Structure 1
Amino acid sequence: MISAAATGSIAYGFGFRYAEALGNSNLQTLKTTHAEQAGTAEKENRLQLLQQVARANESESLLFAAYESFKEEKRQLQERIPHVTTQYIPAPGAVAKPIPRCVFTAGWLRDFNTALGVSAPRPGTTAAAAEKAAWPATGTDAELLESGVTPADILAHAQDYGLWARSNLVQLNALLDLQEKD
């Protein structure tokens, strides 16, 4: 019986070592496979990141180019404001004359600001008297007072507002373009 137990023990030892060697071999193969997959995934992710960075840089460049274009257009328009707001020609071939005085009432200015989404100063805030005067109550004589706003002021405001709106549009389109490319 001792011999059967010894034989069983030897067989068990060989089987254990064989299974252990096979398990170690399989584990090493699995580690190698995972390392290769991780390396491939890293390369793919790096390539995607570089592509996204290139697209973002291109979009940023286009955005800044648009901003510069808008600034130049605004500069040119600002140079023309005095010319187009101080004189006019009443008919083709006539001589230029000074533009008649144009009055914008405080009520008109209030409604203009309201149409643009500018809210009235809240009661109790530290608004300047001029700011309060620009928000007269509806139906009062104060809304018919002269606001002091000139056609040149309105044109300058339109330039600023147009620059703001166009800048927002360019940003939105750039974001949409980036999203489409992804």
Structure 2
Amino acid sequence: MNSAFSSAWFKVPFVAGLLMLALWAFLTALHDAHDIGYALAEAKGQAVLEQLRTEHANAEAARALQVAADAKAAANALREQTQRADQAAARLADQQRQYRQNTDRLTGEIARVNDLYRAALNAPPEPLPPCVFTRGFVRVWDEATGAAMPAHSGGAAATSADAGAADQLDAGIGRADLLRHHIRYAEQCRTTAAQLDALIDVLEDH
């Protein structure tokens, strides 16, 4: 009886020790599992964060490259447009020189074509007869070119006897003056037309 009791008493601490050992092993495993899980989660989080950083850096690099490409394209377009404008300006300047040379040449011929005339090809040259231009002629001429404002609103004819008489007076200009004015005015018209054509060419190329 005592021997059986002693054997049972000996087994109780042993079993308790085994239970404590098992509990300690379980808690240790649980703690290790927690540490492992935390480490895995942290590593995964770091990997995701690093991936986001990489994607962000790649996106920023792509945007920077696009901005640089756009800037380069804009610079090239501006350079090409500037070159076209310079070329148009050079052509225009050349045309203006030609127009001025033509004006100088024609101006030099004014005296020659206003001194003598022939009634026929085989007739002898004779002095040109007088040519009178009235003040009214000059007024109408200037109003047509915009060099003077209309004397009468609405295009109504002059009704004043004084105004009509003044229009019939000699303006004091001759054929040479009229031709000289026409040559210079023609140069201005051709220059303006050339400037407009050059501007249209630049805008159309753009």
Report TM bin, short chain: 0.7 to 0.9
Cα distance in 2 for partners of 1:89, 1:138 equals 39
Matches within 5 A, 1:31-70: 31-70=60-99
Does the aligned pair in 2 maintain the 1:107–1:138 contact within 8 Å? Answer: no
Does the aligned pair in 2 maintain the 1:63–1:170 contact within 8 Å? Answer: yes
Does the aligned pair in 2 maintain the 1:137–1:143 contact within 8 Å? Answer: no
Give, as a single letter, the amino acid of the residue that structure 2 aligns with 1:158. H
Cα distance in 2 for partners of 1:105, 1:118 equals 17
Cα distance in 2 for partners of 1:156, 1:71 equals 13
Give the greater-gyration-radius structure (CA): 2
Give, as a single letter, the amino acid of the residue that structure 1 aligns with 2:84. R
With the length of structure 2 as denominator, give the TM-score of the two structures. 0.72
Shift of 1:118: 2.5
Q: 1:56 to 1:137 in 2, by over 3 A?
A: farther
With the length of structure 1 as denominator, give the TM-score of the two structures. 0.81
Does residue 160 of structure 1 match 2:151? no
Does residue 26 of structure 1 match 2:49? no
Q: 2:107 aligns with which of 78, 82, 101?
A: 78
Cα distance in 2 for partners of 1:31, 1:113 equals 68
Q: Which runs of 5+ in 1 are unaligned?
A: 123-135
SS in 2 for 1:55: helix
More helix by share: 2
% same residue: 25
Q: 1:117 aligns with which of 131, 136, 146?
A: 146
Cα distance in 2 for partners of 1:31, 1:137 equals 86
Cα distance in 2 for partners of 1:52, 1:97 equals 59
Shift of 1:47: 2.0
Question: Which residue of structure 1 aligns with residue 175 of structure 2?
Answer: 151
| Displaced runs of 4 or more, over 6 A | 1-8
Cα distance in 2 for partners of 1:105, 1:6 equals 116
